[in-house]
Chains A and B, each alone.
Chain A
Amino acid sequence: MYKVVVPGDFISEAVSRAGEGTYVEEGKVHAARYGIVDERGEIKVVPLSGKYVPAEGDVVIGRIAEISFPFWIVDIASPYEARLHMSEFADTRDEKIEFGSLSRYLDLDDLIVAKVTNVDVMMRVDLALKEDFNLSHGGRLIEIPHTKVPRVIGRNGSMIKMLKEKCNCFIFIAKNGRIWVRGREDDMNLATEAIFKIASESHTSGLTDRVAVFLDSFRLKRAKGRR
């Protein structure tokens, strides 16, 4: 069902439909990446691996890596670091943020949910805080390759909906492959295991059903263990 291609493979002659992960040479579309071909609409090669490159509008989970007034430098699991300006905090408060006091608001290693507001040609990345997601009330961070994110969400969100229901957890998936899970300890363990399973089998078909079986059998085992 899935057609795996390697760089250089000939895909099609429909040059006008050439999309992401492909290149055109002598009137032919070739694969530019190692991945799976998607020929619905645009011809795309969905990569199986690779690093996250931020794009405007993405919602990411970042980790404060450095403080350099008036910015926080944020690690967003990408080759490029991002900047969060102090005005992101000042706007919501009357007090003025003094030089050297940035760490009072966000300190090193703090996690934030942010939206990428701008990426310029020099690959400078600007962030805006998204405060409707607060990561400070406990939970767990899971990291998977960003290429697997669509599979964890599933078609129309089917996979993530099932995960949330069966694991009884709050799950938030960011574009850069970082996932926030919050719930009871053993529920989080189950969700973590399921997410890693999805990530390692992301290229197979019928995955949603298989994960459902996996989650159900796990619950059953645990119920038996309690008795």
Chain B
Amino acid sequence: MKEGKEKIELIKEGKRLDGRGFDELRPIKIEVGVLKRADGSCYFELGDNKVIAAVYGPREMHPRHAQDAKMAVVKFRYNMAPFSVDDRKRPGPDRRSVEISKVSREALDPVIMREYYPKTAIDVYVEILQSDAGTRTAGINAASVALADAGIPMKDLVSSIAVGKIGGEVVLDLNAMEDNHGEADMPVAMVSRTNTITLLQMDGRLEKEEFERGLKLAMRACHQIYELQRTALIDRYSESVDVGEGEA
């Protein structure tokens, strides 16, 4: 924290500023297949985060020399819209988004069965339309659903959420205010079915005990998110069955 900055009281009477408890997620909304021209897509809301993921492919890999003769190459681009934050974000890739693209790709990589499509590329584009801390986790959640929607063979879905420490407490799913004035932020991505962690980063400091408590919190939340992702995918087709039969 910068000096001279006023210390903000993030926890009042056992509640957070937005009224949530310590282990509470922000409201989540998932919509599948929102983009007509993409092979798979997903719109994901996590509180005030608004994220859209588009998957194209498998398609021919260019440049040719970057092809892998044995499996598909996954390309992931995380991009923040200039209007996604309060101060205009300078458009284009920067140090931060290049890093997030890399770790997000690696978070999804273990579940994608790349050997099904040798010599091809699978393009994943994650566009942050509105940001309120935790966009990389929202992006991974959205991308995972979009990949499934594109019909790409996968072993599982990946779910992701951040935990952190604010006002001395370990809490789930920080918002921007908590992230900026808190002590630590730790995004986690994992495969719910097998409890395999595919992304784990930490900004700030946590005691060993706090880390373990936080991780447990994140893992439980990932299970919740997984259920929402799964339901969103399944509802997409069961809903239209009813509509279809109704009109006949």
Contact = CB atoms under 8 A, between A and B. Distances in A.
A7 B117 contact: no
A8 B154 contact: yes
Contacts of B69: 122
A2 to B, nearest CB: 7
B151 A81 contact: no
Contacts of A9: 230
A23 B193 CA distance: 14
Interface string A18-37: 00010101000010111100
Contacts of B60: 79-81
Nearest to A81: B60
Interface stretch (A100-108, A170-178, A203-211, A218-226): A203-211
Interface residues of A, number: 35
Interface in B46-73: 57-60, 69
A49 B41 CA distance: 12
Interface in A7-56: 7-9, 21, 23, 25, 30, 32-35, 47-51, 53
A4 B234 contact: yes
Interface in B229-248: 229-230, 233-234, 237-238, 240-241, 244-245, 247-248
A142 interface: no
Interface in A123-174: 123, 147
Residue of A8, A34, A47, A123 with highest tally of chain B CB at under 10 A:
A34
A2 B241 contact: yes
A33 B119 CA distance: 20
B120 interface: yes
Contacts, number: 102
Contact of A6 (B150, B234, B238, B241): B234
Contacts of B221: none
B58 A51 contact: yes
Contacts of A48: 151, 237
A63 B119 CA distance: 21
A6 B119 contact: no
Given A34-B148, A47-B151, A49-B149, A7 B111 contact: yes
Contact of B57 (A79, A123, A206): A79
Residue of A9, A32, A207 with highest tally of chain B CB at under 10 A:
A32
B154 A32 contact: yes
A201 B119 contact: no
A213 interface: yes
Interface string B124-161: 00000000000000000000000011111111110000
B240 A201 contact: yes
Given A53-B117, A203-B241, A6 B151 contact: no
Interface of A: 2, 4, 6-9, 21, 23, 25, 30, 32-35, 47-51, 53, 79-81, 122-123, 147, 201, 203-207, 209-210, 213
19 contacts: A4-B238, A8-B154, A8-B156, A32-B113, A33-B148, A33-B153, A33-B154, A34-B149, A34-B233, A49-B39, A50-B151, A53-B116, A53-B117, A80-B60, A80-B119, A201-B244, A203-B240, A204-B240, A205-B241
Of all A-B residue pairs in the complex, the 5 with the closest CB atoms, nearest first, are: A50-B151, A8-B156, A49-B151, A7-B154, A204-B244
